[in-house]
Amino acid sequence: MADNLKCSNCNKEATVHLTQIVNNKIHKVDLCESCAQKKGVTDPQGFSLADLLSKTALTPDSSEASLVCPNCGLETSDFRRTGRLGCSACFQVFGDLVRPALEDMHVGLTHKGKIPEVALTRQNSQAQLQALKDSLASAIAEEAYEEAAKLRDLIHELEVAVAELEVTEA
């Protein structure tokens, strides 16, 4: 690991990394060897499955699936360390890690404010347009020319609509 994490108990270098879930909220705990021993987290007797399911269960880091964002490369450990997301796609990948953190942070858990209608419509039409173009390509490849002609008309209509949403480049 590039930067050594410090034991949250005594400040020595941490070698045991745990994720503690209390009341559905995720808390990260890093411990050094000796503190981990004292707390019994390395002792299989003191760390039963029952404990894992109880409200103060400690979940070893290794059991937490390490996720990676396909768009920006952010990993679970990056998010844990910095508390920052790397791109829009991260919210799909790390959503289940973000949600519990929001409870203490905000008034509510879902957006109640402004919605960027124009931008969303434009993004949706663009996605739709791409899908139609893909279908057109395969229709042509399959020599389904009647289908291709229909798709071409649809694409044209949508392109006109999209053009109206686009503002001319400055």
Partner 1 sequence: MIESLIKSDRAELTQSTRKGSPVVLSTRVRLARNLSDIPFPERATSAQRSDVLSKCADHIGGLKQMKSGAFFDISQLSELEKQVLVERHLISRELCESEQGSGVIINKDQTCSVMINEEDHLRIQFLKTGFNLNSVWKQMDRFDSDLEDLLDVAFSSEFGFLTACPTNLGTGLRASVMMHLPGLVISEQMERVIRAVNQLGITVRGLFGEGSDATGHVFQISNQQTLGESESEIITRLGSVLKTIIDHEVNARFKYLEENRAKLLDKIGRAFGVLQNVHFLSSNEAMNLLSLMRLSVDFNMLPESNRSDVDRLFIECQPGHIQYAAHEGIEPELRDIARADKLREEFSHLPPLNFDKVGESK
Specify the residue, 50 or 105, whose C-beta has the smaller distance to partner 1: 105
DSSP string, 74-108: -BHHHHHHH----STTHHHHSHHHHHHHHHHHSS-
| Short-list 80, 119, 122, CA closest to 98 | 80
Instruction: Kindly state whether residue 102 participates in binding partner 1, applying the rule CB under 8 A.
Output: yes
User: In this chain, which of 6, 122, 150, 152 binds partner 1, going by CB under 8 A?
Assistant: 122
Tell me the helices (H) and strands (E) count for the chain, helix number first. Answer: 7, 3
| Residue whose pair of structure tokens reads 């973000």 in the numeric block | 98
26, 67, 72, 144: residue in contact with partner 1 (rule CB under 8 A): 72
- Quote the least distance from Cβ 40 to Zn ion, whole Å: 14
Q: With respect to Zn ion, which residue has the nearer C-beta, 11 or 138?
A: 11
Whose structure tokens read 């060897």?
33
Cα distances (Å, whole numbers) of residue 149 to 137, 138, 141: 11, 12, 13
Q: Is 167 in the site for partner 1 (CB under 8 A)?
A: yes
Q: Which one of partner 1, Zn ion, none interacts with residue 49, CB within 5 to 8 A by kind? A: none
Instruction: Tell me: does residue 68 bind partner 1 (CB under 8 A).
Output: no
Binding status of residue 55 toward partner 1 by CB under 8 A: no
* DSSP-based three-state secondary structure for 147: helix
- Whether residue 89 contacts residue 69, with contact meaning beta carbons closer than 8 Å, is answered with yes
Residue 60 binding partner 1, by CB under 8 A = no
Tell me the window of 25-33, 36-44, 107-115, 139-147 that interacts with partner 1 (CB under 8 A): 107-115
Query: Rounded CA gap, 33 and 17, in Å?
Result: 10
Residues binding Zn ion (CB under 5 A): 7, 9-10, 12, 32, 35, 69, 71-72, 74, 86-87, 89-90
Residues binding partner 1 (CB under 8 A): 71-74, 83-88, 91, 95, 98, 101-102, 105-116, 118-120, 122-123, 165, 167, 169-170
